[in-house]
Amino acid sequence: MSRRTTVLACLVMSTLLSIIAATPAAAATPRSEWDYVALGDSYSSGVGASGQTGLCLRSANGYPGLWNAANDPKSYRSVACGGATTTSLRSTQLWPLTRGTDLVTLTIGGNDVGFASTVITCTLSSDSKCAATVASAMQVLRTEMTAKLDGAYADIRREAPNARVVVLGYPILFDETAATCGIGGMSIAKRKSINSGAAELNELIAARATAAGFTFSDVTDEFAGHGICAATPWLNGLTVIPATNSFHPNAAGYRSGYLRALNAALN
């Protein structure tokens, strides 16, 4: 073997070893041996699905529970909690993470920009008031959320250095084609304002998750054609009992939307 060939072989081997070393441990082991921890807000705790329990409204019918049931990992723990923000995630949800954690999933950021209050305001107010409320939320997004997301993602990586981390986005809530939409009569203008805000939030989450070395899974394709007021919605509209289910995925949304997006990210 010539010196040139030997050098080339060494370079190829070095590159392969670097790739292997950089691959999360979860990728090298079967899912039945994974330790899985679900973090995040109500979209990860399972609000909107049946079987919610406790103050955090966790349900086995949210996407983490469905993934656990389908894959039977070695361990599974959900500490996701309805109403969670990046701050509460960092202070109350990181304790199950260890060097041995193989998979972490989360949705976070919606409550930091006032998701719930914004949608409720839009339901009850005028088109112009809705647009102004969304604009205010986007100002928070543009000035505060990069640092908040970066801090949360850094903490997760520090506590679970070997894990595959999948950050999932939020669906575009509303169908924009139906002439009328729900009990509150959400106008097309209001729906467009809310949807544009959700799209901008997803863009920032995707950018910061990628910068952290995490996998971002965009759920908008899965939910396309299934927004609130579509013919077959995968999201709850304004709900009276329980009110907390409002504007969250229903059973089809978690199974055919979020779970499908998570599986695609892991394949």
Domain interval for residue 140: 35-266
**Average pLDDT value for residue range 121-144:** 96
Query: What secondary structure does DSSP assign to 78-106, as a single string?
Result: E---TT--HHHHHHHS-TT--TT--EEEE
Give pLDDT, residue 185: 74
Of 55-59, 89-93, 103-107, 237-241, the one with minimum mean pLDDT is 237-241
Q: Is the pLDDT of residue 96 over 60?
A: yes
Q: pLDDT by residue (tens digit) across 39-71?
A: 999 999 999 999 999 999 999 999 999 999 999
User: Considering the chain, what is the average pLDDT of its residues?
Assistant: 91
Q: How far apart (Å, rounded) are the C-alpha atoms in residues 69 and 67? A: 5
**Does some domain include residue 23?**
no
> Which residues have a Cβ under 8 Å from the Cβ of 96 and sit 6 or more positions away?
37, 77, 79
**Does some domain include residue 134?**
yes
Nearest to 47 by CA among 232, 253, 249, 217: 249
Give pLDDT, residue 29: 87
Check which CATH number belongs to the domain holding 187 and give it: 3.40.50.1110
Radius of gyration for the alpha carbons in the chain, expressed in angstroms and rounded:
20
Q: Which of 2, 14, 42, 50 is catalytic?
A: 42
**Does some domain include residue 193?**
yes
**Average pLDDT value for residue range 91-106:** 98
pTM: 0.89
**Does some domain include residue 14?**
no
Q: pLDDT by residue (tens digit) across 210-233?
A: 999 999 999 999 999 999 999 999
Nearest to 34 by CA among 106, 104, 107: 104
Give pLDDT, residue 182: 76
Count: domains in the chain: 1
Q: Which amino acid is at 175?
A: D
Give pLDDT, residue 81: 98
**Does some domain include residue 19?**
no
Nearest to 120 by CA among 183, 177, 175: 183
Q: What's the N-to-C CA distance of the chain in angstroms?
A: 39
Q: pLDDT by residue (tens digit) across 192-210?
A: 999 999 999 999 999 999 9
How would residue 13 be classed by pLDDT, with cut points 50, 70 and 90?
very low
**Does some domain include residue 189?**
yes
| 42 counts as catalytic | yes
**Does some domain include residue 261?**
yes
**Does some domain include residue 27?**
no
Q: Which of 44, 128, 248, 256 is catalytic?
A: 248
